Amino acid sequence: MNTKLKNILLCYASGMGIKSISSAFDISRNTVRRYVRMYQDSGIPAEKLPSLSDARLQELFAIPGARERQPSERQIRLEALLPEYAARLSRRGMTVKKLYEEYRAVHPDGYLKASFGMKLRQFMLQTNAIGHVEHRAGDQMYIDFAGNRLEIVDEATAEARKVEVFVAILPCSHYTYCEAVWSQKKEDLIKACENAIHFYGGAPCAIVPDNLKSAVTRSDRNEPVINADFEAFADHYGCAVVPARVRHPKDKALVENAVKLMYRSVYVDLEGMVFHNLESLNEAILKSVAAFNARNLTRRKESRRQLFEAVEKDSLHPLPTNRYQMRQRAVATVQRNSYVTLNKHHYSLPVQYVGKRVEIVYDAETIDIFHGFTHVTTHHRNDTPYEYTTKPSHNLPGRKGSCESDIEELLSRAAQIDNIVVHYLRAVIEDRRYPELAFRACRGIMKLEKKYGQERLVSGCAAAMDARLYSVSDMVDILESGADADYLPGADADGNERLTPAHCNIRGKEYFAASIKQSTNNDNEQNGNKR
């Protein structure tokens, strides 16, 4: 009797009505009311009821003059069988009728069918008593799609298209949001969730979806796998994703009840109305939802809106500055030139990824490229077709960037050596005019530094400037012949004869004098033979 009394009081504390308790426990309503009044007078919290001793229960709820009726023999036999019957009834194909036939075959003097069914139902209600759940303000947001869809009629063709109805609810205040979307795909789900969060003016700690494929990739009691895009959306707003357990309808009872309430309010308000686009439909839905949230809750003096403003609004997390941008994914193979293509635009990668499959994750502004779990690079998105976006750090083979940028780099290197080199290179550029030819000439001149050193390069540029010679071959001739000697540091310091640097290719005035003499003799001989 004491266990039964505990269960009666627990059922009442969880919100079960007097009539339901009376039916479930086969006790008159007056008796249930008497126990309830005594429980209310005692002031004992519901969570302490299971721990009360039998003596304490007897002391608190003893009814003067009442005597406890002893159970009959057939009642004792049936109660011993009820746990097994309840477990078997949950199996597919098993019915109360089959269980009763089995019971009567073994116990022909047992209860009749009606009493048997009532006893079994009472046992199942008592063993599955629902406890009260206290919802914290700003903690969770439950989401789901309604089973019944609405429709939009094409104005031109009169063709009706079904649309899904998204419902969200904050369990603490029961503040409800509703919106029509085209489908249950992740793009529409994420958009609707984001609109709900902005409707509330803040983000909850967790989002609780039903096991929608667009939100939950794989259901698991311990570690469910969340859709990557939905998880990224939740992270953007600082929310965790906690899917409802499979085959546990109590986990999502609040949102399912919210869906039923939408049927009785929003759906009724929209009955007979025709909508030609999603925007006008959602305007009507939001108007109806606003009226719904403004109505007082059953047996309460506050509306959902008032409760939200009073206890929950300030508990939500502040919203980020920017709305979430959903990222798309694509898979591509890195081409031989070390680029991948997205929307006809080419993006560079390091050469070690040539021929490998990579994943491209992108939004309206940014492109991230991954190889496996490795983040390879990030590019700013550019949708200009057939153009190339290249990062200098990737060190791709061949000339990098435009000729203009390469020339600027050469001039920057020249400035580190001497301004004379800079002036000479600018003169070379002016002489060549065409950027590609100018770049090649400047590059060849700068390479002479490795062979002759910086000092000779400076003096050679000075000599070439005076002589108005602007080619690589001219510079080589000047440096090999020593024609830059007058431009070397200290060449005229003591008024002495210029010092020609020693070089195997410099032949000197004696060589040229002998060559001139030999040439003159050859000419004379040829003229004598002619005469």
pLDDT digits (tens, 9 = 90+) for 255-265: 777 888 888 88
Task: Give the pLDDT confidence score for residue 511 in this predicted structure.
Answer: 44
Of the two residues 232 and 348, the one the predictor is more confident about is 348
Helix axes 419-432, 403-417, angle to 10 degrees: 150
Task: Give the pLDDT confidence score for residue 133 in this predicted structure.
Answer: 53
Residue 142's closest CA among 291, 310, 259?
259
What digits encode the pLDDT tens for the residues 60-102?
Answer: 666 544 455 677 888 888 888 888 888 888 777 888 888 899 8
Q: Is 90 exceeded by the pLDDT of residue 341?
A: yes
The listed range with the strongest mean pLDDT (14-23, 204-213, 242-251) is: 204-213
Task: Give the pLDDT confidence score for residue 421 in this predicted structure.
Answer: 92
User: Would you give the distance in Å from CA 478 to the centre of its chain?
Assistant: 65
Residue 510's closest CA among 522, 518, 520, 498?
518
Q: Which single residue is written with the structure tokens 């195997």?
A: 504
Average pLDDT over residues 32-39: 80
* CATH fourth-level superfamily of 140-315: Ribonuclease H-like superfamily/Ribonuclease H (3.30.420.10)
Spatial distance between the Cα atoms of 167 and 198, rounded to a whole number of angstroms = 14
Of the two residues 50 and 323, the one the predictor is more confident about is 323
Among 21-35, 161-175, 186-200, 247-261, the minimum mean pLDDT is found in 247-261
Q: Is 90 exceeded by the pLDDT of residue 515?
A: no
Look up the pTM and report it.
Answer: 0.49
Specify which residues 177 forms β-bridges with: 168
Q: Is 50 exceeded by the pLDDT of residue 179?
A: yes
The answer to whether 216 touches 207, Cβ cutoff 8 Å, is no
Mapped onto helix, strand or coil, the DSSP state of residue 470 is coil
Give the model's confidence band at 463: pLDDT under 50 very low, under 70 low, under 90 confident, else very high. Answer: very high
Average pLDDT over residues 20-32: 77
Average pLDDT over residues 402-413: 82
Sign for the CA dihedral angle at 338, 342, 344, 346 comes to negative
Domain boundaries, the chain: 2-127, 140-315, 328-394, 406-531
